[in-house]
Amino acid sequence: MGGFDEAFEAAQAELSGSAVETSSAGAGEGAAQEPVATPADKGGAPDAAAAAPASPAELKAHEHWSKEAKEAWAAAYGNPEHRKYAEAWRKEHDNFEKRYSERQSQYDRLHQEHQQARGFLEQFHAAIAPYAQEYQRAGMSPIAGVQRALAWEAYIRENPQQAILQLAQQAGVDLAQAQAEIPYEQQQQAAIQQLVAQQLQPLQGFVQQQVQMQQQAVMNSTLNEIQSFKAAIDDAGNPKYPFFDDVVGEMQGIVDLANARGQPITLEQAYKTATRLSESVWAKQQEQEKARAEEQAKKDAELRRVEALKARNAGGARSPVGNGATPGPDRPKTAMDAVRMAEKELGG
């Protein structure tokens, strides 16, 4: 940072000198200073280069600087007398930031390597912890025990037969006797397994039959429920679920997904969801509902018209049917029944 200190001291000296000159000039008798002659005063054309000297590219304040630092930089760099010192300071400052960034990157890398090494050591200690007491009883450290195990592993890979013999000798195992006992143990184990299988065979058949019967019962119940759902009709005698065949595949997927989530739903809920997800079926359903609404509106209007005709005729000549001699007809149940009865009363 020697360059920065020199630039800073030079800037202080320059500022002190300019302050002294300014105070001396202000302490005079007020005489006006003689203006400096310019090329224009001498009758010549003004020199554009002298009037507006070219300046190097402006150095902007760093974005990460504070507001006060940016203002101080703008004040120092904006003063032509202090600019060269500001540029010198800026150079040292940028170099310092570069070195700091490099040191920070190096520190981050070393910190990451340290964390990785620490994680490895923790895993290593966790792996050998169950065998620490055995190593201690054998009079060796855990590291020595791991080294010995790795050496045995390499020895077994290089010479497996000799290594197995040596291990058997150290463990006090007679390989010839052990090999002679193996077939008998295998035969005995096979006989036990065969006996257990014979005992469990009737039970397995019974269990399998019960499971099949339960599955068949569930399947039949589900099929009956689906058939009843498909054949359902509304109060007017129309199919309650007219688009069942169009969305039965989507309904199955929706029901399976709900069961997998542990949230079973009804067939009606699956039907509504499936019809809403299918654009073509949803459009057909909307058109059908609109047509039914229009048909019902026509029936209601016709019923109101017939009621109005009956009321108007009752105000004129009374019909023989309504004079009390004979009982009147039954009240119409539907709009079409009312229309037919009114036409009959009015003489067709």
Examine residue 193 and state whether it is found in any structural domain, yes or no.
no
Shared domain check, 296 and 238: no
Shared domain check, 11 and 81: yes
Examine residue 48 and state whether it is found in any structural domain, yes or no.
no
Round to whole Å and give the CA distance between 252 and 250: 5
Q: Which residues contact 327 (CB under 8 A, 6 or more apart)?
A: none
- 79 φ, ψ to 5°? -90, 115
Q: Which residues pair with 233 in a beta bridge?
A: 239
Shared domain check, 270 and 295: no
SS3 content of the chain, % helix, strand, coil (to 5): 75, 0, 25
- 317 φ, ψ to 5°? -65, 130
Shared domain check, 100 and 5: yes
pTM of the model: 0.30
Shared domain check, 293 and 317: yes
Q: Which residues contact 321 (CB under 8 A, 6 or more apart)?
A: 328, 329, 345
Round to whole Å and give the CA distance between 299 and 284: 23
- Residue found by looking up tokens 């000296």 in the block: 13
pLDDT of residue 322: 46
pLDDT of residue 110: 92
- 27 φ, ψ to 5°? -90, 0
**Which of the listed residues 139, 155, 174 is the one where a domain comes to its end?**
139
**pLDDT lower than 50: segments of the chain:** 1-4, 15, 17-56, 317, 319-329, 348
- 114 φ, ψ to 5°? -65, -40
Shared domain check, 263 and 289: no
Full domain range(s) for residue 287: 279-321+328-348
pLDDT of residue 343: 64
Shared domain check, 291 and 251: no
Shared domain check, 227 and 113: no
Shared domain check, 94 and 15: yes
Into how many domains does the chain fold?
3
Shared domain check, 317 and 223: no
Shared domain check, 1 and 134: yes
**Which of the listed residues 91, 109, 139 is the one where a domain comes to its end?**
139
Examine residue 226 and state whether it is found in any structural domain, yes or no.
yes
Examine residue 10 and state whether it is found in any structural domain, yes or no.
yes
Examine residue 185 and state whether it is found in any structural domain, yes or no.
no
Examine residue 165 and state whether it is found in any structural domain, yes or no.
no
Shared domain check, 252 and 335: no
